[in-house]
Amino acid sequence: MRATAVLTVRNEGAFVIEWLAHHKGIGFTDFLILSNDCDDGTDAMLDRLAAMGEIVHVPNPGPHDGGVQFAAMKLADRHPLVSGADWLMTLDIDEFVNIHAGDHSLAALTAALPEADAITLTWRLFGNCGGTSFEDRPITESFTRAAPEVMVWPWRAFMFKTLYRNTGAYRKLGIHRPRSPVAGKVEGMRWFDGEGRELPPRYQRQGIFSPFGRTNYRLAQVNHYALGAMESYVVKRDRGRAVHGGERLGLDYWTERNWCQVEDTTIRATDPVTAPHRARLMADATLARLHAEAVDWRRARFAELMQEEPNRALFGRLLMSPPARMLGPEEARLIMPHTRPPA
């Protein structure tokens, strides 16, 4: 089974090795990684990984019509690693596929849902929970507290990423799901969610949200480490959003994602298969040097950004802000009548 993961990155060299080692360990066979406007050496790191035969690196210089990620998807649509794959998935550097079925591999997940042509993996939001300083240690070990399995708000907590068969039913990659369905082919696609439920036919053409108020994680989930340390969040704000390029991250984004109610260490079950990849990659002297330089750049960039008042103000607000809390039924009812259910 050839499974291709497509990733877009900018200034995230400090996290590339962990992300790559994890997804190699669980069974992705090919990696198409697109980079743009890197200042921390991420592009050089990707070039080295490509020279080692670990990934394929495609530069994605601007201008980025429609946003960085959509421009990257257009490049990826035409690439042999996409057209020749059996299964496809687009991911971000802060998203880690976490499979609970069988031996925690992609093969175990597809075996658990043999009739599935597409499997939706719902985000599980992992909060900051008071972590101030960026540390050069695995994200999956640093942040272990997350949102409860069942909530009614915010709706963004239930967005999913899609692992799907490359049957020709869709012409284009998408950030959350495949796009541009092909009439006569898409009708045969059977969609299942990470709980193992078959989804209604409308998901063949639209939908990026899992059911509210129900469990969604029995077979698999995507661990979404959207915040990281407070220092990293300031640097992430400076980088800008990959989809909504004109928007700057603030306290609103932070508040909806800083969930610390439940400990979830299930991803550590993959340590036996991911740790050897991480060790092997870090054993390369050039790659280890580039990783260390990316770490140093991140710390220096945070110090530089803190010379600007908007960044100091944001950091102070992060320090003052408590973790998110679940809304009770009465509180949720104050919002839901005014909310259009997302597709």
Residue 338 has a pLDDT of 74
In a domain, residue 265? The reply is yes
Whether the pTM exceeds 0.75: the reply is yes
Nearest 5°: CA angle at 224, between 237 and 190? 125
Residue 329 has a pLDDT of 79
CA dist., res. 268 & res. 235, Å (int): 27
In a domain, residue 293? The reply is yes
In a domain, residue 209? The reply is yes
Beta bridge partners of 274: none
Contact predicate 254/126, CB 8 Å: no
For the chain, list residues with pLDDT below 70.
241-247, 339-343
In a domain, residue 206? The reply is yes
H/E segment holding residue 238:
helix 230-239
Q: At what angle do helices 13-25 and 271-282 cross, to 10 degrees?
A: 130
CA nearest to 273, candidates 44, 27, 59, 42: 27
Residue 145 has a CB neighbour count (10 Å cut-off) of 18
Interior/surface letters 268-292, b for 16+ CB within 10 angstroms, e for the rest: eebbebbeebbeebeebeebeebbe
User: How many domains does one find in the chain?
Assistant: 1
In a domain, residue 56? The reply is no
Residue 343 has a pLDDT of 61
Residue 246 has a pLDDT of 54
In a domain, residue 277? The reply is yes
Give the residue numbers spanning the domain of 242: 94-338
